[in-house]
Structure 1
């Protein structure tokens, strides 16, 4: 946040005074409890980076305090909770965005342009995956009560990417998940979806794999692959790979800092005054709810495969 010229880090808040002090020493800002931070008059907006189970609650607290909110993904842990916090933001006329940083990377605009130009022909399928190796056993993503599990942490990425490229109205046709025997926590999973126009989508996610962060679109005329879709470093130059029947073409794109672009977009919306009521901000809120509706549907349909974990 300190690297984004459109924002100023005024204060950090948390439950641990020691951790808060480490941040204040590093960034030269004020420190306080989370509750006290929301009462500060010199703060216009807050970034909520708590565990997922606290996202909806603290977003609501911040909105009640009159603050604009950028909340780490996912916006909540259920669609009902997401609808409630979105409704609160609309009632109070405040900007509420979910911080899916990858959505701000211009490589996805390049993908959309190739689709619109007809380079892939009629779309037939989408496949997205976000997986990484096992985490430390103390990691909060292994704690069910904190909103842990692979679906909420990793699965939301390919789900959101599918919606970004295939449009609204995706339906879950089936799902499965490898769940930990001790408590049912999902360690990895897959889901099959279908768009209103009949495009099939497959998403895969998990904490049990070598690292992978990609998606591909397969059309009647070509296949397009984005090898580093969700977490490209700021200096990384994306390479899109277009495969036709007798031709392979690569598009090397400029590097971009998706974190700073996300922060700058949020700051611009806050500075725009009435932006909370704009169609663009409404779409951010609607998309956040739609993602959680897909998460709920994947949970409901997932066939569990029990593993030791």
Structure 2
């Protein structure tokens, strides 16, 4: 009995997923997560490199399609996952929606606000689900931290600090190519910026920003941002391709601090440690391990299944508002940032 038959036999048929592209994140994180998600089954994968598609298909137990269009034309594909460069998201998301497929698209959903709005409107007009695959909010540690803040463990939240930085990339990496939507802001900057919205709310404005510009590639290699809320709370954020690896945040309140490390891409086996510092007291809370890539896929599939049952995406408006708000904030940062030379640190 196949895995698909087992899932279908236990209740509602799973979402049959086609994959357009064979990126590193797809192979390392998303496709293994699809095998672990209870409501998803991999149906097909396509790549510009047919041999790469065939290797992935053999590794993950699905078929290799001839090309992207063949996946979109497949009657055994309900939804598609797009791990393509950001500048290609619009073209292939619109093509997938036109083919009647639900879409899970890698972050950012598109390279600007107008394209993001266009994709959301196209999905809504066809009654299809669209989500951007920003996986970290699907890890349980962030809700646990937010619960601690709401419970008053650090008093009133005043300041949020966060960074996501990675080492220098190879020269041929697509994130160095402006025509493909490259640059640190759209790649790693999305994480701390969206995390600030998660903890401080959606009314954040840009108080200041710096982008470190790499003239050789024509993209930003890193940056720092200061955001403010209408209530006076602030977020200080850093990101880039010029650093030793780091992914963390700190929430500072009137009577204490909460800090967590490895917050954006933790492996599924990692048990996060939440450090709570209060007056004369430090507590370290060890949380359960969680699988944010599996959870993100499952949440997307749940929305597809709900739409299949009712004819409407029950969380469409909330997710659309979130995607548009993030796109607008990213655009505001890019527009207002001062440019300084990249460091090219080794």
Q: TM-score per shorter chain, which class?
A: over 0.9
Equivalent residue for 2:96?
62
In the TM superposition, what are the counterparts of 1:224-303 in structure 2 within 5 Å?
224-273=258-307, 274=310, 276-278=312-314, 280-303=315-338
Which residue of the other structure, out of 95, 105, 119, is the alignment partner of 2:129? 95
Q: List alignment gaps of at least 5 residues for structure 1.
A: none
CA-atom RMSD, angstroms? 1.3
Determine the C-alpha separation between the residues in 2 that align with 1:292 and 1:153.
Answer: 13
> Does 2:46 match 1:10?
no
C-alpha deviation, 1:54, in angstroms: 0.9
Q: Which moved more, 1:203-212 or 1:137-146?
A: 137-146
Equivalent residue for 2:230?
196
* Contact 2:37–2:298 under 8 Å retained in 1: yes
Equivalent residue for 2:13?
none
In the TM superposition, what are the counterparts of 1:156-171 in structure 2 within 5 Å?
156-171=190-205
Equivalent residue for 2:161?
127
Equivalent residue for 2:29?
none
1:78-97 CA distances to partner (integer Å, 9 max, x unpaired)? 11110110111111111111
C-alpha deviation, 1:245, in angstroms: 2.0
* Contact 1:127–1:215 under 8 Å retained in 2: yes
Q: List alignment gaps of at least 5 residues for structure 2.
A: 1-33
1:63-109 CA distances to partner (integer Å, 9 max, x unpaired)? 11111111111101111110110111111111111111101001011
1:193-242 CA distances to partner (integer Å, 9 max, x unpaired)? 01122110111000000110011111111111111210110000011111
Equivalent residue for 1:28?
61
C-alpha deviation, 1:3, in angstroms: 2.2
- 3-state SS of 2:189 partner: helix
Equivalent residue for 2:221?
187
Equivalent residue for 2:241?
207
Identify the structure with bigger relative contact order (alpha carbons < 8 Å, sequence gap 6+): 1
Equivalent residue for 1:154?
188
Under a length normalisation based on structure 2, what TM-score does the superposition of the two structures give?
0.86
Determine the C-alpha separation between the residues in 2 that align with 1:80 and 1:166.
Answer: 25
- 3-state SS of 1:2 partner: helix
Greater than 6 Å deviation, 4+ residue runs: none
C-alpha deviation, 1:157, in angstroms: 0.3
Q: Which moved more, 1:298-307 or 1:16-25?
A: 16-25
Which residue of the other structure, out of 121, 125, 140, is the alignment partner of 2:174? 140
Determine the C-alpha separation between the residues in 2 that align with 1:85 and 1:232.
Answer: 29
Determine the C-alpha separation between the residues in 2 that align with 1:275 and 1:218.
Answer: 44
- 3-state SS of 2:266 partner: coil
Q: Which moved more, 1:9-18 or 1:150-159?
A: 9-18
1:250-287 CA distances to partner (integer Å, 9 max, x unpaired)? 11100011111111111111111237432x33212211
C-alpha deviation, 1:14, in angstroms: 2.1
- 3-state SS of 1:202 partner: strand
Determine the C-alpha separation between the residues in 2 that align with 1:284 and 1:52.
Answer: 19
C-alpha deviation, 1:11, in angstroms: 0.4
* Contact 1:269–1:275 under 8 Å retained in 2: no
